[in-house]
Amino acid sequence: MPDKPKHKYPGWDLDLGWQGFHDYPAGIYLESHGSHSEMICVREVAMMLAMDRLSDKPDWHIKVFDEDIAAKWRAEIMAWPDDELWNRISNFQPWWLDLLRDNEDGNPWRREPVPCPEGILNDEAADYCILELREKAEHFKRTGIVPTLDATFTVVKSDALIPGDLHEALRLAFAKLQADQAACPDWHPNTNEMVQVLVHPSMYPLVYGRSRFLEDEAVGIDDAVDRWAGKGEVIPRKYHVASRFCSTDHQWLPANLEFTAMGGVKFTSYINNLHPTKYRDIYGTIEKLVEKSLPLWDHCLAEYRETRPGRQEPRLRPGDASDDNKDNWDPPSWREMLARRGQGNGPLEGDRVQKPRELVEEWCRIRKPVQIKPPVFGRPEVNYTVDPGKPLGQKFKDSGLQIMVKMASIELTPEKPEFPPGGWHVEGQMNEHIIATALYYLDSENITESCLEFRAQTDRDQDHARNIGQDAFHWMESIYGVKLGSGPGSSCLQSYGSVVTREGRLLAFPNIFHHRVSGFKLADASKPGHRRFIALWLVNPTIRVINTGNIPPQQAEWWEESTFGTLRGEGGSSAMGTSASLPPEIAVLLLEHGLGKGHLDAALERGLLGALKLPNELLDMVRNGFGDGLPMSRGEAEEHRLKLMEERSAFKDGADEAWNQAAYSFCEH
């Protein structure tokens, strides 16, 4: 068997803040390379929403070519209320609305709120949507994949790639894990006992100054507990890190995967918090889910400055975006306003002739912004095909991938009937190097529809706004749904819309997207309901992160079961030998650290380990240096989880504040 390659790891022999060469972008912090979307007008986001919902219809990829059905769908698109779309998409934070409505004298930024424009989705927009859906339908027929919410970046979905036998195997895996956890469910902190965690990387993470490390990735799967638990040297904490977006205390631990000769994937190290031998069959099931997720990641990922499949830029672009461009308004001038009133012989207001300045002011009050027209649709408009040599399985066939796994169930009851909306976030911290997410929505029962919402950062400076004069941004504000011009503008955050997270859906997206879960509740409030899902987080394959091949299992429960199971009639021959030779003093010390309860205390009581032999003075000496090499008790792991969550919450709040404070300001050029 060939020797494993020698790796360098951030946090070990590389600086903890090492980011490689920014090969894959991620939206962790404000200035993340390659993570900025172009601005997208409200009409285009509305078109993306409309196309996404139409592609949720049964047999949409066939029906979209039926002219009668397509005509009905056009009508559905145009019937979407303007105010609903505007409220979903426009970027006016509540505090900005308060400021805009503030009539206090002396407020230099006082302005009326930008009104909702009319005709966001008209017949031209609807026609374009149908033509684009037909192109995407052809791609879906070939691949089973639908690129959706696609402008600068892309969200990808599929309701067709997970076969029935894999869905059933995943359902049985959840049932098995929940049954084994029935006596003591692990409710995720701060969820009001509504989110049951079955597998989550926040438990037993890498803890600097506590976890033990093996440099050569020796830890596998079948031998992970029996051979490697407790081995390695303690990894020191890194106190001086260049970036505040890295954690000096914790890191989620990915598992390693290799590509097989048949084109599949196989785990080569254990999944953190999924017992490697007890649940070996579940490992194989998750491997199959990873295989199905790879094509979706191929559709939405590309290295920095590389071209990925699908749409690379917005569909709708403004020409001259200045207020001074008369073609941006309806009517285009005050003279046309008068002509439409039949006042071509002179502007009158009662018995008084209106002055030109008054006419201009009136025109500015009543004029409507003209929406950007969709371009002529070309065929093919976009290349959705993954280029040869670009799939992850080809690019990284030798080095493999690293993936983190989460399995969870949201449980609602008549007493707790509603799950609140989540907060905006990206996945992980910078030292975890997560570049993409895949979510499989396994099972939904008796709950209302829920969505995953998306937004992305944008640049403060926009090319099409560079030559616009001061305070000439009113048209852009109406078209893009943002505050521009004098004073602080809207935050540089671009809505991309939302995707319904229904049962059987596989959803993937790059980690440049901020995302949040919409709230949902019981459909029938008299009965319980649930939503079960699996999350896969892909680590940047160009950076090797400390992983479960380096960190032996830290779960004391696994170690106890392997080592002391025979004391109550469990375990194998190796455990029998260990228990027979265990000094009773060591058993006492283990019990003092919360380990072996129910095993060692019973053995001591029954006299299976003999009598204590060491004097108390020597026992105290052993006690003083005993704890560092022991695995983590569940209580200790839960403490680390809370600290990790507090740290991430502070990071999220800081990042969110930075995202919201980065505002458009085009008032000077």
666: tokens are 């085009």
Helices (H), 64-122: 67-78, 82-89, 94-101
What's the domain count of the chain?
2
* Residue 390 CB-half CA count within 13 A: 18
The residue whose two tokens read 């219809």 is: 57
Q: Is residue 656 part of a domain?
A: no
Residue type, 296: L
Of 524, 553, 582, which marks where a domain is finished?
A: 553
Burial class from Cβ neighbours inside 10 Å (0-12, 13-18, 19+) for residue 504 reads middle
Q: Is residue 409 part of a domain?
A: yes
Which sign does the torsion angle of CA 128, 156, 21, 432 carry? positive
Interatomic CA distance for residues 242 and 84, integer angstroms: 44
Looking at residue 578, its pLDDT comes to 46
Helix (H) / strand (E) containing 382? none
pLDDT tens column, 508-539: 999 999 999 999 999 999 999 999 999 999 99
* Residues 448 and 583 grouped into a single domain: no
Interatomic CA distance for residues 428 and 432, integer angstroms: 6
The residue whose two tokens read 């950076």 is: 543
Nearest to 575 by CA among 603, 594, 548: 603
Residue type, 365: R
Interatomic CA distance for residues 255 and 553, integer angstroms: 12
Residue type, 130: I
The pairing of strands 520-521 and 451-458 is unpaired
pLDDT tens column, 338-355: 888 876 545 555 555 678
The residues near 639 (Cβ < 8 Å, ≥ 6 apart) are none
Q: Is residue 443 part of a domain?
A: yes
Cα 655–Cα 494–Cα 371 angle in degrees, nearest 5 = 160
Of 553, 585, 611, which marks where a domain is finished?
A: 553
436 phi, psi to nearest 5 deg: -160, 155
42: tokens are 């409200």
Whether 429 and 511 have beta carbons less than 8 Å apart is answered as no
* Residues 515 and 564 grouped into a single domain: no
Q: Is residue 9 part of a domain?
A: yes
Looking at residue 668, its pLDDT comes to 47
Q: Is residue 638 part of a domain?
A: no
Whether 27 and 514 have beta carbons less than 8 Å apart is answered as yes
Helix axes 573-581, 556-564, angle to 10 degrees: 90
* Residues 466 and 519 grouped into a single domain: yes
Whether 530 and 194 have beta carbons less than 8 Å apart is answered as no
The residues near 468 (Cβ < 8 Å, ≥ 6 apart) are 321, 322, 323, 476, 666, 669
Q: Is residue 127 part of a domain?
A: yes
395: tokens are 């690019």
Hey, which residues does 534 pair with through a beta bridge? 407, 440
* Residues 9 and 23 grouped into a single domain: yes
- pLDDT < 70: residue spans in the chain: 1-4, 22, 30-31, 93-112, 240-243, 343-353, 462-466, 485-489, 564-582, 610-615, 617-629, 665-669
Whether 337 and 86 have beta carbons less than 8 Å apart is answered as no
Whether 181 and 196 have beta carbons less than 8 Å apart is answered as yes
196: tokens are 């049951």
> What's 157-195 look like in SS3?
EECCCCCHHHHHHHHHHHHHHHHHCCCCCCECCCCCCCE
* Residues 542 and 570 grouped into a single domain: no
Interatomic CA distance for residues 185 and 195, integer angstroms: 10
Interatomic CA distance for residues 406 and 438, integer angstroms: 11
Q: Give the 3-state secondary structure of residue 88.
A: helix
* Residues 396 and 250 grouped into a single domain: yes
Query: Which contacts qualify for 162-171: CB closer than 8 Å, 24 or more apart?
Result: 162/289, 162/292, 162/440, 162/504, 162/506, 166/285, 166/288, 166/289, 166/292, 167/442, 167/504, 169/285, 169/288, 170/285, 170/289, 170/440, 170/442, 170/534, 171/442, 171/443
| Cα-only R_g, the chain | 30
* Residues 584 and 543 grouped into a single domain: no
Whether 78 and 50 have beta carbons less than 8 Å apart is answered as no
Whether 422 and 516 have beta carbons less than 8 Å apart is answered as yes
* Residues 386 and 407 grouped into a single domain: yes
Nearest to 471 by CA among 108, 120, 116, 119: 108
191: tokens are 């969820």
Of 501, 536, 553, which marks where a domain is finished?
A: 553
For 475-499, b where at least 16 C-beta lie within 10 A, e where not — what string? bbbbbbbbbbbbbebbbbbbbbbbb
Nearest to 157 by CA among 440, 490, 535, 468: 440
Looking at residue 669, its pLDDT comes to 41
DSSP 205-222: -EETTTSEE-TT----ST
The pairing of strands 233-234 and 352-353 is unpaired
43 phi, psi to nearest 5 deg: -60, -45
Interatomic CA distance for residues 453 and 498, integer angstroms: 4
392: tokens are 């992850």
Looking at residue 26, its pLDDT comes to 84
Which sign does the torsion angle of CA 19, 22, 25, 30 carry? positive
Nearest to 181 by CA among 195, 198, 167: 198
Looking at residue 371, its pLDDT comes to 96
Interatomic CA distance for residues 93 and 491, integer angstroms: 8
* Residues 393 and 455 grouped into a single domain: yes
Interatomic CA distance for residues 314 and 318, integer angstroms: 11
Hey, which residues does 347 pair with through a beta bridge? none
Q: Is residue 425 part of a domain?
A: yes
How much is the pTM? 0.90
519: tokens are 């709230």
Looking at residue 352, its pLDDT comes to 57
* Residues 313 and 453 grouped into a single domain: yes
Helix (H) / strand (E) containing 266? strand 265-267
Q: Is residue 364 part of a domain?
A: no
156: tokens are 């990808």
Q: Give the 3-state secondary structure of residue 139.
A: helix
Interatomic CA distance for residues 407 and 173, integer angstroms: 10
* Residues 539 and 571 grouped into a single domain: no
Q: Which domain holds residue 24?
A: 1-319+378-553
Phi/psi zone of residue 58: left (φ > 0), alpha (ψ -120 to 50 degrees), beta? beta
* Residues 156 and 17 grouped into a single domain: yes
